[in-house]
C-alpha cells in the first residue's frame, strides 16, 4: 500500500521543562500538541521522579498516544522531556519513538532528538563492540547511548554530554532529562535545527519552536546558540560553550524551516516565520510578475507567501480552496484511483472564487510534482481560465543528510525536467521558482547563515569531528 504524503518532512520536535512545581507531564503534553506539525508518526513523554524516569510513548498523534488515562499514570515530576516523530531514519514503530531511556552504571537519562546524525551507524558499531545493546533502528537511540557512555567515561553529566557531542556529525538539537533532576539542552555547532528557551514563574522550558513556549505559558527568552549547551536545574539556568555575541561562522540553519517546517507564529533565530514567508511572496511577485485576476495560496503552507505576492503585485487575494481539517494524518490507499480521491478529499477548489479567472497559485515547493499537477488540474476543472504557478522555494535537486526526507534525487522532478518541462507536466500556464538569492533576501533578519544544500548541493562547512570513540 502507498502512503499519500506530498510534502517534505523533517525529523521530529522536542520539548522539555525544568520546574519548581510537579506539573512537568501536563505542560510537556501541551508543548507537544503545539509541535504536532513537525511529526505525526509517534509521540512520547518521559518524566523524572525521585531519581527514576517514567516514560510512555507509542505510534500515533499526541492526542492518540496520551489520553487522560496515560497522562494520569505519570507520577508527579518537575523534569520532563517530550518528542514527536517523523522518521527519516528507522522504521515507523514504537521502539523508534522518543524519548529514549538509557541506563548506565550510575544513573539514567531520557533523550529527545531532532535532526539526523550522519555517522550514527559507525558510532553504533563501536558502542556494540563495547557491549552496549540496541532495541531500535533510530539514530536517536544511538545518540542517547553515546551520551550515557560518555557520562560514565567522563564521570559527570555535563562533561559526558559535551564529550558525546564531539563525536556527532550532522544535525542534532537535543533535550536530555537526567535522573539527577537536570534538564540539558544542546544544539549542534552548525545550528541546522532550531531550539529555543522560555521562562515563567515556575521554571524553564526548551522547545523546537517558540510557538510551543507561548502555548504552554512560557515567555520566549532566546534561541539556543549553535554549539551551546544549557542546563536548567532548581530554577537556575547556566550556559556552556558558545556565548551570545560570538561569531557563528559555521552556522547553517536549514532555510526550509522558514519555507515550510516551522509554524508561522514562531520566531526562529530572530526572524518571524510569517514575515519570512510574506517576504518570499513579495519577492516572487517581483521576480515573476504576470497579468492575473486573483492570487490564492495552497493551504496551509502557501497562504502567507500568497499574501505577500498579492500585496506586492496588487492582484486581489482570494481563498482558492476548502481544506478538510478533520482527516488528520496522511492517507494509505492501495490503488491510484483511491489515492487521487484522497487528495481531492483533503483539498477542494472554491469554484465561486476561481471560475473564469486567471489565477496565480502560490505554494512552498514542488518536490515530486504529482500533487502540483493534481491541484492545477482541480483549479482548471473548477473553471479557472489560466493557472500560473509560483513557488516560494528554489527547485529541489539534491538529497538532504540533515533530517529532511529527500533520500533519492531520482524522486525529485527538478532533477529530471527543466522549468518548461515541469510547467507542462503539472499543466500550468506559467511557472516561477524564487531564486536562491531572493529566498535569502526574504530571510535577511535571521541571525544565522543558512544551509541551502538541497537547492544548491553546497552544504555548509562542518566542523571537524573525531571519528573514533576514545
Q: What are the grid coordinates assigned to 440, written together? A: 535569502
CA diameter of the chain: 72
12 is catalytic: yes
Give the H or E element holding residue 378. Answer: helix 370-381
Name the residue with cell 550510575.
Answer: 106
Q: Among the options 12, 196, 296, 400, which is catalytic?
A: 12
- Residue partners of 284: CB distance under 8 A and separation at least 6: 305, 308, 309, 362, 390, 391, 392, 432, 434, 438
- Which string of DSSP letters, residue by residue, matches 193-260? S--EEEEETTEEEEESSHHHHHHTT-EEEEEPPTT-EEEEETTEEEEESS-TT---TT--EETHIIII
Nearest Cα to Cα of residue 232 among 185, 282, 172, 173: 185
Q: What are the grid coordinates assigned to 312, written together? A: 506586492
CA distance 16 to 287: 42
Is the separation of the CB atoms in 86 and 41 below 8 Å?
Answer: yes
Is the separation of the CB atoms in 76 and 54 below 8 Å?
Answer: no
Q: Which residues are catalytic?
A: 12
Amino acid at each position: 500500500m502507498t502512503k499519500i504524503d506530498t510534502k517534505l518532512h523533517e525529523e521530529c520536535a522536542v520539548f522539555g521543562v525544568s520546574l519548581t512545581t510537579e506539573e512537568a507531564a501536563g505542560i510537556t503534553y501541551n508543548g507537544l500538541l503545539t509541535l504536532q506539525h513537525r511529526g505525526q508518526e509517534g509521540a512520547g513523554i518521559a518524566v523524572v521522579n525521585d531519581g527514576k524516569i517514567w516514560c510512555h510513548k507509542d505510534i500515533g498523534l499526541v492526542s492518540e498516544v496520551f489520553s487522560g488515562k496515560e497522562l494520569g499514570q505519570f507520577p508527579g515530576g518537575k523534569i520532563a522531556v517530550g518528542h514527536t516523530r517523523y522518521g527519516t531514519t528507522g522504521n515507523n514503530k514504537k521502539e523508534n519513538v522518543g524519548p529514549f531511556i538509557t541506563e548506565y552504571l550510575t544513573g539514567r537519562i531520557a533523550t529527545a532528538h531532532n535532526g539526523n546524525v550522519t555517522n550514527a551507524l559507525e558510532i553504533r558499531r563501536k558502542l556494540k563492540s563495547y557491549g552496549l545493546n540496541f532495541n531500535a533502528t533510530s539514530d536517536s537511540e544511538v545518540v542517547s547511548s553515546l551520551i550515557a557512555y560518555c557520562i560514565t567515561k567522563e564521570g559527570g553529566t555535563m562533561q559526558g554530554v559535551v564529550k558525546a557531542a564531539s563525536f556527532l556529525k550532522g544535525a542534532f538539537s537535543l533535550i536530555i532529562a537526567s535522573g539527577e533532576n537536570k534538564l540539558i539542552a544542546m544544539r549542534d555547532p552548525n545550528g541546522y535545527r532550531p531550539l529555543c528557551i522560555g521562562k515563567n514563574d515556575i521554571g524553564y522550558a526548551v522547545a523546537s519552536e517558540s510557538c510551543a513556549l507561548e502555548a504552554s505559558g512560557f515567555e520566549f527568552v532566546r534561541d539556543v546558540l549553535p554549539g551551546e549547551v544549557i542546563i536548567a536545574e532548581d530554577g537556575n539556568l547556566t550556559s556552556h560553550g558558545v556565548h551570545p555575541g560570538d561569531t557563528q561562522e559555521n552556522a547553517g540553519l536549514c532555510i526550509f524551516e522558514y519555507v515550510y517546517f516551522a509554524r508561522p507564529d514562531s520566531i526562529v533565530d530572530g526572524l518571524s516565520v510569517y514575515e519570512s514567508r510574506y517576504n518570499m511572496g513579495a519577492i516572487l511577485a517581483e521576480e515573476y510578475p504576470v497579468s492575473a485576476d486573483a492570487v490564492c495560496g495552497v493551504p496551509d503552507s502557501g497562504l502567507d507567501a500568497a499574501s505577500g505576492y498579492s500585496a506586492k503585485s496588487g492582484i486581489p487575494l482570494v481563498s482558492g480552496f476548502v481544506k478538510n481539517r478533520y482527516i488528520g494524518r496522511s492517507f494509505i490507499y492501495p490503488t491510484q484511483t483511491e489515492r487521487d480521491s484522497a487528495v481531492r478529499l483533503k483539498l477542494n477548489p472554491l469554484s465561486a472564487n476561481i471560475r473564469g479567472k486567471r489565477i496565480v497559485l502560490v505554494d512552498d515547493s514542488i518536490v515530486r510534482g504529482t500533487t502540483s499537477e493534481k491541484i492545477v488540474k482541480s483549479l482548471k476543472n473548477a473553471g479557472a481560465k489560466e493557472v500560473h504557478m509560483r513557488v516560494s522555494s528554489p527547485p529541489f535537486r539534491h538529497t538532504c543528510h540533515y533530517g529532511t526526507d529527500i533520500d533519492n534525487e531520482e524522486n525529485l522532478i527538478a532533477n529530471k525536467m527543466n522549468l518548461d518541462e515541469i510547467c507542462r507536466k503539472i499543466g500550468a500556464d506559467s511557472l516561477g521558482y524564487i531564486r536562491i538569492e531572493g529566498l535569502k533576501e526574504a530571510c535577511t533578519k535571521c541571525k544565522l547563515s543558512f544551509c541551502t544544500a538541497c537547492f544548491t548541493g553546497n552544504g555548509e562547512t562542518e566542523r571537524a569531528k573525531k571519528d573514533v570513540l576514545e
